[in-house]
Amino acid sequence: MKALSLSVGVLWGALMLMVGLVNLAVPSYGMDFLRLMSSIYPGADTTATLGRVLLGALYGFVDGAICGLVLGFLYDAFSHERTVLPK
């Protein structure tokens, strides 16, 4: 579960970072995505500053890690074989 949690956290945080950095260079890139994320992550609004991009990446990492942990827990809970008790 730890590996899945960290993997999803790094992946989502990197996605947030990349979209934010490209948006700094090309302001029209990813605006709809960034507007949606700013409605979820407080403080990570669409203001094109490096601080906001890094804050969004941090939110993405934490959110992704939590989602990865929940996914790992659910997978672990449902993946065990069920044994039938002998009569």
- Identify the three-state secondary structure at position 43: coil
Contact by Cβ (8 Å): 69, 18: no
pLDDT, residue 83, reads 62
Q: What span, in angstroms and rounded, lies between the C-alpha atoms of 24 and 33?
A: 14
- Identify the three-state secondary structure at position 8: helix
List the chain domain ranges.
2-78
pLDDT, residue 81, reads 67
Higher pLDDT, 86 or 45: 45
User: Which string of DSSP letters, residue by residue, matches 54-73?
Assistant: HHHHHHHHHHHHHHHHHHHH
pLDDT, residue 1, reads 86
Rounded average pLDDT over 32-44: 88
pLDDT, residue 57, reads 93
